[in-house]
Amino acid sequence: MSRYILPASVFGTVFGCAVLLKNHLTGGTCPSKAKIPGKTVVITGANAGIGKETARELARRGGRIIMGCRDMEKCETAAREIRGSTLNPHVYARHIDLASIKSIRSFAEKINQEEERVDILINNAAVMRCPPGKTEDGFDMQFGVNYLGHFLLTNLLLDKLKDSAPSRVINLSSLAHIIGEIDFDDLNWDRKKFNTKKAYCQSKLAIILFTRELARRLEGTGVTVYALHPGVVATELGRHTGMHQSQFSSTVLSPIFYLLIKSPELGAQPSVYLAVAEELASVSGRYYDVMKEKEPAPQALDQEVAVRLWDISASLVGLETTVSVPSPSPETVTQVLPEQTRTHPSEPAAAMTTV
C-alpha cells in the first residue's frame, strides 16, 4: 500500500498546482481597462460559452450589445441575465442562423437599418465536429456556419463598419487551423468521404485566410481585423465529441478535464482584449494565440490561396466584387454589391454581373 503513497501524493500535488495555476498559465485577464460607452458591438453565438461572457464583459464596459443567436429563447434569457448582472440596459437579442443565407441577410439588413453604427463585430459562433450535414444553402455545416456565414455577415456590415471607423472585426479561429487544408476541389465535402475533424480544421483555417485578405482590402479605411485562438475553454463546443458521448467520459473524464481548462469568463478575455486594447488600433490582419500575437501555420499565410478563397466564397454566398484584387495592392479595395441568386453551392454564380 505504502508504495502507492509517493506517486499518489506527487500526482495530487501536480494536479492541485495545475488547477490553482491554470488561470495564470492560460493567459489571464485582459490588461486593458478601456470602457466602450457609445460603441456598438455585434456578436454571434452570444447565448453560450465564450460569446456570452464576451457580451457580458463588453456590456460591463458600457457598450451597446447586439447578441446574434439562432435560438431566440436562449438568446433572450442570456440577454436578460447580462442586463441584470451588468446593469447595462442596452443588451439586445436578435435572430441569426448562420446556416442560412436568408437569415444572415435579414439580420444584417436590420442592423444596417436600425443601428447608427457598428464599432466591433465579433464573429464568434461555431459548430465543432458535428455529424455530416448541410446548411440550408447546401454548404458543409462547419464550413458554412463557421466560415462562409461570417464571411457574408462581415461583408454585409462593411459599410457600417467603415462609417463607424475606427472599428474592429474579430474572427474566432482555433489552433486546430494548423492541420487544416483548403480543398478547392471539394470545399463542401460533396465528393470525398466526410471527415468531421478535417472539416472543422478547414473552416478555422479559412477564417485566418479571410482575416488576412479582409485586412488587406480594408487598408486605409480604419477598420482593423484580427483572428484568434481563445485557448482551451470549458464550453459546450465539444458537444459532438467523444467526451460528451460516452457515460464514462462524461461522468469521470469530463469533470477532471473541466478542472484543468479555463472558464468561459477567462476564455472571453482574448476577444475582449482584441475588441478594446488601445495598442492594437493600428494593427490589422494578425493572428493571436490567446492574447499574444503569433504567426499562424504556413498554409494560413498563402496570399494566393487567400485571394482564391475570397473570390470563391463571394460567389458561393452570392456576393459580387466590383474590382478583382489578384495581387496585394493597397489601392484595390473591393466593394460588395447586393444579393445574387444561386441554387446550389457547387454551381458557379453564372447570373452574376461584374460592374
Ligand X SMILES: NC(=O)c1ccc[n+]([C@@H]2O[C@H](COP(=O)([O-])OP(=O)(O)OC[C@H]3O[C@@H](n4cnc5c(N)ncnc54)[C@H](OP(=O)(O)O)[C@@H]3O)[C@@H](O)[C@H]2O)c1
Q: How far is the CB of 95 from ligand X (least distance, A)?
A: 9
Q: Is 153 in the site for ligand X (CB under 6 A)?
A: no
Strands of the sheet with 120-123, listed across from one edge? 91-95, 64-69, 40-44, 120-123, 167-172, 223-229, 286-289, 292-294
Q: Is 65 in the site for ligand X (CB under 6 A)?
A: no
Pick between residue 58 and residue 307 the one whose CB is nearest to ligand X. Answer: 58
Among 27, 180, 230, 318, binds ligand X (CB under 6 A): 230
For the segment 245-304, give every residue that binds ligand X (CB under 6 A).
Answer: none
Q: Is 235 in the site for ligand X (CB under 6 A)?
A: yes
Tell me the DSSP string of 153-167. Answer: HHHHHHHHHHHT-SE
339: DSSP letter: P
- Please state, as a whole number, how many other Cβ atoms lie within 10 Å of the Cβ of residue 163: 13
Q: Is 70 in the site for ligand X (CB under 6 A)?
A: yes
Q: Is 50 in the site for ligand X (CB under 6 A)?
A: yes
Residue 103, C-alpha cell as written in the block: 437569415
Pick between residue 232 and residue 317 the one whose CB is nearest to ligand X. Answer: 232
Q: Is 56 in the site for ligand X (CB under 6 A)?
A: no
Q: Is 158 in the site for ligand X (CB under 6 A)?
A: no
Among 30, 93, 98, 120, binds ligand X (CB under 6 A): 98
Is 123 in contact with 174 (CB distance < 8 Å)?
Answer: no
Pick between residue 111 and residue 307 the one whose CB is nearest to ligand X. Answer: 111
Active-site residue identified among 200, 226, 273, 288: 200
Identify whether 166 is preceded by a cis peptide bond (ω within 30 of 0). yes
> Catalytic residue at 200?
yes
| Helix (H), strand (E), coil (C) string for 172-214 | ECCHHHHHCCCCCCCCCCCCCCCCHHHHHHHHHHHHHHHHHHH
Residues of the shown chain interacting with ligand X in the complex, contacts defined by CB under 6 A: 44-45, 47-51, 69-71, 74, 96-99, 124-128, 145, 172, 174, 229-230, 232-233, 235-237
Catalytic residue ranges = 200
